[in-house]
Amino acid sequence: MRSLDEITEDIKTVLEEKVAQNVAAHNGSIGFIEFAMDTGVATLKLSGACSGCAMSQRTLKEGVERLLKHYVPEVNSIVGEDDEKAEEQGYKPFIPRDERDV
């Protein structure tokens, strides 16, 4: 059985080498928050344009989760959390219907 440190390092490596460049092309980033050994759930931080984006959940499930499961077998699923400071940085890619000037 691998240690939490080993698994965490592998998750960070996959995010850096396989994910970062693709999401950066859309002015976003996905970073590591934590990994729960007991459930196999990796919690990731969605920053920049990824934070609040309606497509970010699809990207997480169909892209990032698939990659992490392949390269880090201990990962069972992932959870994304939006960066609370994204709006302060000018990112609000998804505007709910009730907040639009229509």
Predicted pLDDT at 49: 75
Say how far apart CA 85 and CA 99 lie, in whole Å: 19
Superfamily of domain 4-86: Fe-S cluster assembly (FSCA) (3.30.300.130)
Predicted pLDDT at 44: 94
Q: How far is CA 17 from CA 1, 28, 68, 78, 98, in A?
A: 24, 15, 11, 18, 38
Where does residue 99 rank: exposed (0-12), middle (13-18), buried (19+ CB within 10 A)? exposed
Predicted pLDDT at 91: 56
pLDDT by position in tens, the chain (length 102) = 899 999 999 999 999 999 999 888 888 889 999 999 999 999 999 888 777 777 777 888 889 999 999 999 999 999 988 777 666 666 555 555 566 455
Strand order in the sheet with 77-82: 28-36, 41-48, 77-82
Predicted pLDDT at 89: 61
Predicted pLDDT at 87: 62
What ranges make up the beta strands (E) of 1-102?
28-36, 41-48, 77-82
Q: Which residues of 50-64 are buried (b: 16+ CB within 10 A; e: fewer)?
A: bbbbeebeebbeeeb
Q: Where are the domains of the chain?
A: 4-86
Predicted pLDDT at 38: 97
Predicted pLDDT at 62: 86
The tokens of 66 are what? Answer: 């698939």
